[in-house]
Structure 1
Amino acid sequence: MAALFSIFFAQFVKIPIHYLMTRQLDWKLFTSTGGMPSSHSAAVTSLCTAIAYETGIDSPLFAVATVFAVIVMFDATGVRFQAGKQALIINQMRADFQNFVAQTKEWSHMKNEEKIEELKTLLGHKPIEVFMGALTGIAISIIIYTTIV
Protein backbone atom coordinates (compact mmCIF):
# COMPACT_ATOMS: atom_id res chain seq x y z
CA MET A 1 0.00 0.00 0.00
CA ALA A 2 2.88 2.35 0.78
CA ALA A 3 4.39 1.83 -2.67
CA LEU A 4 1.08 2.45 -4.43
CA PHE A 5 0.45 5.57 -2.38
CA SER A 6 3.98 6.76 -3.23
CA ILE A 7 3.26 6.43 -6.95
CA PHE A 8 0.07 8.48 -6.71
CA PHE A 9 1.65 11.06 -4.42
CA ALA A 10 4.72 11.52 -6.65
CA GLN A 11 2.56 11.77 -9.77
CA PHE A 12 0.23 14.31 -8.15
CA VAL A 13 3.00 16.49 -6.70
CA LYS A 14 4.46 16.92 -10.21
CA ILE A 15 1.54 19.20 -11.05
CA PRO A 16 2.19 21.92 -8.42
CA ILE A 17 5.97 21.65 -8.92
CA HIS A 18 5.52 22.20 -12.66
CA TYR A 19 3.15 25.09 -11.95
CA LEU A 20 5.66 26.77 -9.63
CA MET A 21 8.39 26.45 -12.25
CA THR A 22 6.40 27.45 -15.37
CA ARG A 23 3.19 29.11 -14.13
CA GLN A 24 1.29 26.62 -16.30
CA LEU A 25 -1.17 24.12 -14.87
CA ASP A 26 -0.80 20.79 -16.67
CA TRP A 27 -3.04 17.99 -15.37
CA LYS A 28 -1.62 15.56 -17.97
CA LEU A 29 1.47 15.28 -15.78
CA PHE A 30 -0.52 13.05 -13.42
CA THR A 31 -0.45 10.25 -16.00
CA SER A 32 2.84 11.01 -17.77
CA THR A 33 6.33 9.64 -17.31
CA GLY A 34 9.35 11.72 -16.40
CA GLY A 35 9.44 14.85 -14.29
CA MET A 36 10.11 15.73 -10.67
CA PRO A 37 9.94 13.60 -8.57
CA SER A 38 10.30 10.18 -10.14
CA SER A 39 7.26 8.11 -9.21
CA HIS A 40 9.14 4.95 -10.21
CA SER A 41 11.85 5.74 -7.69
CA ALA A 42 9.29 6.68 -5.07
CA ALA A 43 7.50 3.36 -5.56
CA VAL A 44 10.53 1.08 -5.41
CA THR A 45 12.16 2.84 -2.46
CA SER A 46 8.87 2.91 -0.60
CA LEU A 47 8.53 -0.81 -1.29
CA CYS A 48 12.07 -1.43 0.01
CA THR A 49 11.45 0.60 3.13
CA ALA A 50 8.13 -1.15 3.81
CA ILE A 51 9.79 -4.55 3.37
CA ALA A 52 12.57 -3.47 5.74
CA TYR A 53 9.92 -2.64 8.35
CA GLU A 54 8.03 -5.90 7.76
CA THR A 55 10.87 -8.42 7.41
CA GLY A 56 14.05 -6.61 8.49
CA ILE A 57 17.03 -5.47 6.47
CA ASP A 58 18.70 -8.86 6.81
CA SER A 59 15.90 -10.71 4.99
CA PRO A 60 16.27 -12.14 1.47
CA LEU A 61 13.08 -10.32 0.47
CA PHE A 62 14.65 -6.96 1.35
CA ALA A 63 17.74 -7.88 -0.68
CA VAL A 64 15.61 -8.71 -3.73
CA ALA A 65 13.60 -5.49 -3.34
CA THR A 66 16.80 -3.46 -3.06
CA VAL A 67 18.30 -4.96 -6.23
CA PHE A 68 14.97 -4.35 -7.98
CA ALA A 69 14.99 -0.72 -6.82
CA VAL A 70 18.55 -0.15 -8.01
CA ILE A 71 17.74 -1.58 -11.44
CA VAL A 72 14.59 0.54 -11.80
CA MET A 73 16.37 3.75 -10.75
CA PHE A 74 19.39 3.02 -12.95
CA ASP A 75 17.08 2.42 -15.90
CA ALA A 76 15.19 5.66 -15.19
CA THR A 77 18.37 7.75 -15.35
CA GLY A 78 20.10 5.75 -18.06
CA VAL A 79 18.24 4.03 -20.86
CA ARG A 80 14.90 5.84 -20.51
CA PHE A 81 16.52 9.28 -20.15
CA GLN A 82 18.65 8.72 -23.26
CA ALA A 83 15.61 7.45 -25.17
CA GLY A 84 13.88 10.72 -24.32
CA LYS A 85 16.83 12.71 -25.66
CA GLN A 86 16.73 10.66 -28.86
CA ALA A 87 13.00 11.29 -29.19
CA LEU A 88 13.65 15.06 -29.06
CA ILE A 89 16.16 14.80 -31.89
CA ILE A 90 13.95 12.50 -33.98
CA ASN A 91 10.97 14.84 -33.52
CA GLN A 92 13.13 17.76 -34.69
CA MET A 93 14.33 15.76 -37.70
CA ARG A 94 10.73 14.89 -38.59
CA ALA A 95 9.68 18.53 -38.30
CA ASP A 96 12.63 19.64 -40.45
CA PHE A 97 11.80 17.02 -43.07
CA GLN A 98 8.14 18.02 -43.09
CA ASN A 99 9.11 21.66 -43.56
CA PHE A 100 11.43 20.69 -46.40
CA VAL A 101 8.75 18.68 -48.17
CA ALA A 102 6.16 21.41 -47.66
CA GLN A 103 8.47 24.04 -49.09
CA THR A 104 9.55 21.99 -52.09
CA LYS A 105 6.11 20.67 -53.04
CA GLU A 106 4.01 23.46 -51.55
CA TRP A 107 1.86 21.20 -49.46
CA SER A 108 0.14 24.08 -47.72
CA HIS A 109 -3.30 22.61 -48.47
CA MET A 110 -2.53 19.23 -46.86
CA LYS A 111 -3.38 18.59 -43.22
CA ASN A 112 -1.55 15.29 -42.79
CA GLU A 113 1.01 16.98 -40.53
CA GLU A 114 -1.66 17.23 -37.85
CA LYS A 115 -2.16 13.46 -37.90
CA ILE A 116 1.49 12.67 -37.20
CA GLU A 117 2.02 11.88 -33.55
CA GLU A 118 5.28 13.00 -32.00
CA LEU A 119 7.38 10.57 -30.01
CA LYS A 120 7.18 10.93 -26.25
CA THR A 121 10.21 12.86 -25.01
CA LEU A 122 9.67 12.60 -21.24
CA LEU A 123 10.60 8.96 -20.82
CA GLY A 124 13.31 9.08 -18.21
CA HIS A 125 14.62 11.13 -15.35
CA LYS A 126 17.54 13.30 -14.42
CA PRO A 127 19.50 11.97 -11.44
CA ILE A 128 18.03 14.62 -9.12
CA GLU A 129 14.50 13.54 -10.08
CA VAL A 130 15.33 9.92 -9.24
CA PHE A 131 16.96 10.98 -5.97
CA MET A 132 13.96 13.08 -4.94
CA GLY A 133 11.62 10.25 -5.91
CA ALA A 134 13.66 7.87 -3.77
CA LEU A 135 13.49 10.24 -0.80
CA THR A 136 9.74 10.62 -1.33
CA GLY A 137 9.20 6.86 -1.25
CA ILE A 138 11.36 6.31 1.79
CA ALA A 139 9.67 9.17 3.67
CA ILE A 140 6.18 7.92 2.87
CA SER A 141 6.93 4.41 4.12
CA ILE A 142 8.60 5.73 7.26
CA ILE A 143 5.58 7.96 7.97
CA ILE A 144 3.17 5.08 7.39
CA TYR A 145 5.09 2.61 9.53
CA THR A 146 5.84 5.00 12.39
CA THR A 147 2.41 6.60 12.67
CA ILE A 148 -0.16 4.16 11.29
CA VAL A 149 1.17 0.60 11.63
Structure 2
Amino acid sequence: MHYYKFPIMHSSIFTNYPLISSIVAFFIAQSIKFFTTWYKERRWDVKQFVGSGGMPSSHSATVTALTASVGFQEGFGGPLFATALVLALIVMYDATGVRLQAGRQAEVSFMSISSFLFIGHTPPQVMAGGLLGILTAVIGHLITVASS
Protein backbone atom coordinates (compact mmCIF):
# COMPACT_ATOMS: atom_id res chain seq x y z
CA MET A 1 0.00 0.00 0.00
CA HIS A 2 1.12 3.50 -0.79
CA TYR A 3 0.16 6.24 1.55
CA TYR A 4 0.25 9.85 0.59
CA LYS A 5 2.58 11.74 2.87
CA PHE A 6 1.50 15.27 3.60
CA PRO A 7 4.26 17.87 3.10
CA ILE A 8 3.98 18.95 6.71
CA MET A 9 5.27 15.54 7.79
CA HIS A 10 8.53 16.16 5.93
CA SER A 11 9.26 19.46 7.56
CA SER A 12 8.63 21.22 10.79
CA ILE A 13 7.25 24.62 11.57
CA PHE A 14 10.56 25.17 13.37
CA THR A 15 12.48 24.78 10.10
CA ASN A 16 10.14 26.90 7.98
CA TYR A 17 12.59 29.55 6.79
CA PRO A 18 9.99 32.09 5.51
CA LEU A 19 8.00 31.86 8.74
CA ILE A 20 11.05 32.14 10.97
CA SER A 21 12.42 35.02 8.91
CA SER A 22 9.13 36.91 9.24
CA ILE A 23 8.88 36.38 12.99
CA VAL A 24 12.49 37.40 13.55
CA ALA A 25 12.03 40.57 11.47
CA PHE A 26 8.91 41.46 13.48
CA PHE A 27 10.69 41.01 16.81
CA ILE A 28 13.75 42.95 15.67
CA ALA A 29 11.57 45.87 14.54
CA GLN A 30 9.60 45.90 17.78
CA SER A 31 12.81 45.67 19.82
CA ILE A 32 14.31 48.61 17.94
CA LYS A 33 11.24 50.68 18.88
CA PHE A 34 11.53 49.58 22.52
CA PHE A 35 15.20 50.53 22.83
CA THR A 36 14.80 53.72 20.78
CA THR A 37 12.09 54.90 23.17
CA TRP A 38 14.39 54.21 26.11
CA TYR A 39 17.26 56.08 24.44
CA LYS A 40 15.13 59.12 23.56
CA GLU A 41 12.97 59.33 26.68
CA ARG A 42 15.06 57.45 29.26
CA ARG A 43 12.09 55.30 30.19
CA TRP A 44 11.06 51.73 29.46
CA ASP A 45 7.81 51.52 27.52
CA VAL A 46 6.63 47.91 27.27
CA LYS A 47 3.83 49.01 24.89
CA GLN A 48 6.52 49.38 22.22
CA PHE A 49 6.78 45.58 22.00
CA VAL A 50 3.15 45.24 20.94
CA GLY A 51 2.13 48.68 19.71
CA SER A 52 1.60 49.89 16.16
CA GLY A 53 3.32 52.84 14.57
CA GLY A 54 6.85 54.07 15.00
CA MET A 55 10.24 53.50 13.42
CA PRO A 56 10.73 51.03 11.81
CA SER A 57 7.42 49.57 10.66
CA SER A 58 7.19 46.04 12.01
CA HIS A 59 4.37 45.32 9.56
CA SER A 60 6.64 46.20 6.64
CA ALA A 61 9.55 44.27 8.13
CA THR A 62 7.38 41.19 8.57
CA VAL A 63 5.87 41.11 5.08
CA THR A 64 9.09 41.97 3.25
CA ALA A 65 10.96 39.26 5.17
CA LEU A 66 8.23 36.82 4.17
CA THR A 67 8.30 37.94 0.54
CA ALA A 68 12.07 37.86 0.17
CA SER A 69 12.45 34.51 1.92
CA VAL A 70 9.69 32.96 -0.22
CA GLY A 71 11.57 34.28 -3.25
CA PHE A 72 14.85 32.79 -2.06
CA GLN A 73 13.25 29.45 -1.23
CA GLU A 74 10.72 29.00 -4.03
CA GLY A 75 12.13 31.27 -6.73
CA PHE A 76 11.27 34.83 -7.67
CA GLY A 77 9.34 33.87 -10.79
CA GLY A 78 6.66 31.69 -9.26
CA PRO A 79 3.10 32.31 -8.12
CA LEU A 80 3.94 31.95 -4.43
CA PHE A 81 6.41 34.84 -4.61
CA ALA A 82 3.90 36.90 -6.60
CA THR A 83 1.27 36.29 -3.93
CA ALA A 84 3.63 37.28 -1.13
CA LEU A 85 4.74 40.39 -3.05
CA VAL A 86 1.18 41.58 -3.65
CA LEU A 87 0.36 40.99 0.03
CA ALA A 88 3.44 42.98 1.07
CA LEU A 89 2.59 45.87 -1.22
CA ILE A 90 -0.97 46.04 0.11
CA VAL A 91 0.19 45.97 3.74
CA MET A 92 2.82 48.65 3.14
CA TYR A 93 0.44 50.85 1.14
CA ASP A 94 -2.19 50.50 3.85
CA ALA A 95 0.31 51.39 6.57
CA THR A 96 1.09 54.73 4.92
CA GLY A 97 -2.42 55.39 3.64
CA VAL A 98 -5.51 54.43 5.57
CA ARG A 99 -3.80 53.56 8.86
CA LEU A 100 -1.68 56.70 8.89
CA GLN A 101 -4.68 58.94 8.24
CA ALA A 102 -6.73 57.10 10.89
CA GLY A 103 -3.91 57.62 13.39
CA ARG A 104 -3.64 61.31 12.54
CA GLN A 105 -7.40 61.76 12.89
CA ALA A 106 -7.32 60.03 16.25
CA GLU A 107 -4.45 62.28 17.31
CA VAL A 108 -6.49 65.39 16.47
CA SER A 109 -9.65 64.05 18.09
CA PHE A 110 -8.14 62.64 21.27
CA MET A 111 -5.03 64.66 22.07
CA SER A 112 -4.67 63.20 25.56
CA ILE A 113 -4.29 59.62 24.33
CA SER A 114 -2.73 60.27 20.93
CA SER A 115 0.44 58.25 21.55
CA PHE A 116 -1.65 55.15 22.18
CA LEU A 117 -3.84 55.69 19.10
CA PHE A 118 -1.16 56.50 16.54
CA ILE A 119 -1.40 53.43 14.35
CA GLY A 120 0.01 54.38 10.96
CA HIS A 121 3.46 54.85 9.50
CA THR A 122 5.23 57.54 7.55
CA PRO A 123 6.91 56.51 4.27
CA PRO A 124 10.41 56.52 5.88
CA GLN A 125 9.17 54.20 8.63
CA VAL A 126 7.73 51.82 6.03
CA MET A 127 10.93 51.94 3.95
CA ALA A 128 13.08 51.26 7.02
CA GLY A 129 10.86 48.31 7.95
CA GLY A 130 11.06 47.02 4.40
CA LEU A 131 14.85 47.21 4.38
CA LEU A 132 15.00 45.49 7.76
CA GLY A 133 12.78 42.69 6.45
CA ILE A 134 14.89 42.18 3.33
CA LEU A 135 18.09 42.20 5.39
CA THR A 136 16.61 39.64 7.79
CA ALA A 137 15.60 37.38 4.89
CA VAL A 138 19.04 37.67 3.26
CA ILE A 139 20.82 36.78 6.49
CA GLY A 140 18.40 33.90 7.05
CA HIS A 141 19.01 32.68 3.52
CA LEU A 142 22.78 32.78 3.99
CA ILE A 143 22.45 30.83 7.24
CA THR A 144 20.14 28.30 5.54
CA VAL A 145 22.52 27.83 2.61
CA ALA A 146 25.57 27.53 4.88
CA SER A 147 23.90 24.93 7.10
CA SER A 148 22.79 22.67 4.24
Structure 1 length normalisation: TM-score?
0.78
Q: Aligned ranges for residues 51-130 of structure 1 at < 5 Å? A: 51-92=70-111, 118=113, 120-130=116-126
Quote the residue 2:7 is aligned against: none
Task: Indicate whether 1:19 and 2:38 are aligned.
Answer: yes
2:57 pairs with 19, 22, 38, which one? 38
Partners of 1:16 and 1:8 in 2: how far apart? 12
Partners of 1:82 and 1:143 in 2: how far apart? 34
Quote the residue 1:112 is aligned against: none
Partners of 2:47 and 2:67 in 1: how far apart? 28
Partners of 2:37 and 2:108 in 1: how far apart? 23
- Count of residues in correspondence between the two structures: 125
Deviations 1:48-86 (A, max 9, x none): 110111111111111111111000000000100000011
Q: Show structure 2 runs of 5+ residues with no match.
A: 1-19
Q: Which has the larger radius of gyration?
A: 1
Deviations 1:84-139 (A, max 9, x none): 011011114xx7xxxxxxxxxxxxxxxxxxxxxx5742211011110000001100
Quote the residue 1:98 is aligned against: none
1:138 pairs with 109, 117, 134, which one? 134
Structure 2 length normalisation: TM-score?
0.79
Partners of 2:62 and 2:39 in 1: how far apart? 24
Percent identity between matched residues is 42
1:29 pairs with 48, 52, 76, which one? 48
Q: Which amino acid in structure 2 is aligned with residue 129 of structure 1?
A: Q
C-alpha contact 2:107 2:118 (8 A) present in aligned 1: no
Query: What is the root-mean-square deviation in Å for CA atoms of aligned residues?
Result: 1.5
Partners of 1:125 and 1:53 in 2: how far apart? 27
Relative CO higher for 1 or 2, CA cutoff 8 Å, sep ≥ 6?
1
